[in-house]
Amino acid sequence: MIQEIEQLIQEIQQLNINSTEEAESIRVKYLSRKGILAQLFSKIGTVPASERAKTGAKLNAIKQLLQDKIDTLQHSLSETTAQFDFDFTLTSKPFHYGKLHPLTLVEKEVIQIFEHMGYIVAEGPEIETDWYNFSALNFEPHHPARDMQDTFFISLNPDVLLRTHTSSVQVRVMEKERPPIRIVALGRVYRNETITARANCLFHQLEVLYVDKNVSMADLKRDLLHFAQEMFGKHTKIRLRASYFPFTEVSAEVDISCTICGGKGCNVCKHTGWVEILGCGMVDPNVLNNVGINSEEYSGFAAGLGIERIAMLKYQINDLRLFFENDIRFLQQF
Ligand code: DAH
């Protein structure tokens, strides 16, 4: 009997069950009422009393082993069928695609235009020191121009602030690199402004900086005109109006011919035919000297554009707050 059991164990270990039919015939052969195991159980009385308990336990273990084998097979077969257990002819559920935020779309486009002109993307921190945001940019300590930018200071330390413009990145780049420098820097800027349709305490700017030997206003006009025409269409014109920024001398504001009426006059351009898009100028020699670039040898131009302003013109949006409210009805339109 013991021998028979040992043989049976070996036999079972080698069993390979591959289909439900095989599983069923194995079950009948070994586990049914007249199966091999039942027969062995019925012969247990012939085993010497001292061996009986051990033999019974062995037979039970074999029974379990077989049952496990059959169960595993059935489980794996049922999983395979479950994979295909649906109706391929059903129509799918509607799929909602995500969209890029309009500001992101504009940012990507603006960056690409400048990259094609040979500009490299630079970055700077949003938490800045007075040096990078103001002093190095030729804002004198008590210069009223500091008040033009309502600064958020961080804690009580007047030296640490949220940058009010991306011009701070100019200083960071010029301190590290030597000319020729041709960069654009994009990012968030912060000002303590009341939130209205035209102003927000957080917005986005793109800074443009080109420093090399003999850089002139002609270079500035060429690159900004190219940008405006790429962004708003090739018939777009630009005009420069004299302005003031502490870090540029001369300084100008740039208008483009109105994208809505083509210059004829409409609500958007307040019937002037022109809309303002950016500030710019020749980098003030003091700024170059502050960062250790010889202003006798080098010159440069800089510009700062508001991303929201460009997006508003491009998509004819008349309320700045829409960009920040994340209203899905607005965002879905881009
Ligand atoms: N930083 C200015 C602002 O936020 C914008 C600006 C004007 C940037 C002239 C420039 C520039 O680089 O040349 O108001």
d(CA 233, CA 313): 12
- pTM attached to this predicted model: 0.73
pLDDT at residue 83, as a whole number: 64
Please check the confidence at residue 12 and state whether its pLDDT lies above 70. Answer: yes
pLDDT band per the 50, 70, 90 thresholds, residue 148: low
d(CA 270, CA 263): 11
CB 202 within 8 A of CB 166: no
The secondary element (H helix, E strand) that includes residue 187 is strand 181-190
Please check the confidence at residue 145 and state whether its pLDDT lies above 80. Answer: no
d(CA 60, CA 207): 81
CA of 148 to the centre of ligand 1 (A): 12
**280 Cβ inside 6 Å of ligand 1:** yes
d(CA 51, CA 77): 40
DSSP string, 287-333: HHHHTT--TTT-EEEEEEEEHHHHHHHHHT---TTHHHH--HHHHTT
pLDDT digits (tens, 9 = 90+) for 191-249: 999 999 888 999 999 999 999 999 999 999 999 999 999 999 999 999 999 999 999 99
Mention every residue, 6+ apart, whose C-beta is less than 8 A from residue 132. Answer: 124, 163, 168, 171, 172
CA of 118 to the centre of ligand 1 (A): 21
pLDDT digits (tens, 9 = 90+) for 14-72: 877 777 788 888 888 888 888 888 888 888 888 888 888 888 888 888 888 888 877 88
pLDDT at residue 79, as a whole number: 66
Q: How many CB atoms lie within 10 A of CB 165?
A: 23
pLDDT digits (tens, 9 = 90+) for 161-185: 999 999 999 999 999 999 999 999 9
Residue 11: name the closest of 71, 52, 91, 69 by CA.
69
Measuring from atom 12 of ligand 1, which residue has the nearest CA? 303
Residue 258: name the closest of 313, 197, 198 by CA.
313
pLDDT at residue 4, as a whole number: 81
Q: Is 201 helix (H, G, I), strand (E, B) or coil?
A: coil
Please check the confidence at residue 307 and state whether its pLDDT lies above 90. Answer: yes
Measuring from atom 4 of ligand 1, which residue has the nearest CA? 165
Residue 238: name the closest of 252, 147, 250, 249 by CA.
252
d(CA 288, CA 286): 5
CA of 83 to the centre of ligand 1 (A): 61
Please check the confidence at residue 150 and state whether its pLDDT lies above 90. Answer: no
d(CA 310, CA 317): 10
pLDDT digits (tens, 9 = 90+) for 76-133: 777 666 666 778 888 888 887 889 999 999 999 999 999 999 999 999 999 999 999 9
State how beta strands 238-245 and 248-257 pair. Answer: antiparallel
Q: Is 143 helix (H, G, I), strand (E, B) or coil?
A: coil
pLDDT at residue 81, as a whole number: 60
The secondary element (H helix, E strand) that includes residue 224 is helix 217-232
The secondary element (H helix, E strand) that includes residue 243 is strand 238-245
* CATH (residue range 102-331): 3.30.930.10
**322 Cβ inside 6 Å of ligand 1:** no
pLDDT at residue 80, as a whole number: 63
**139 Cβ inside 6 Å of ligand 1:** no
DSSP string, 146-180: HHHS-PPBPTT-TTEEE-SSTHHHHHHHHHH--SS
| Position 222, amino acid | R
d(CA 174, CA 243): 24
CA of 304 to the centre of ligand 1 (A): 4
**146 Cβ inside 6 Å of ligand 1:** no
**167 Cβ inside 6 Å of ligand 1:** yes
Q: What is the DSSP letter of 210?
A: E
Query: Where are the chain's structural domains?
Result: 2-82, 102-331
pLDDT band per the 50, 70, 90 thresholds, residue 269: confident
Please check the confidence at residue 144 and state whether its pLDDT lies above 80. Answer: no
pLDDT at residue 294, as a whole number: 98
CA of 80 to the centre of ligand 1 (A): 65
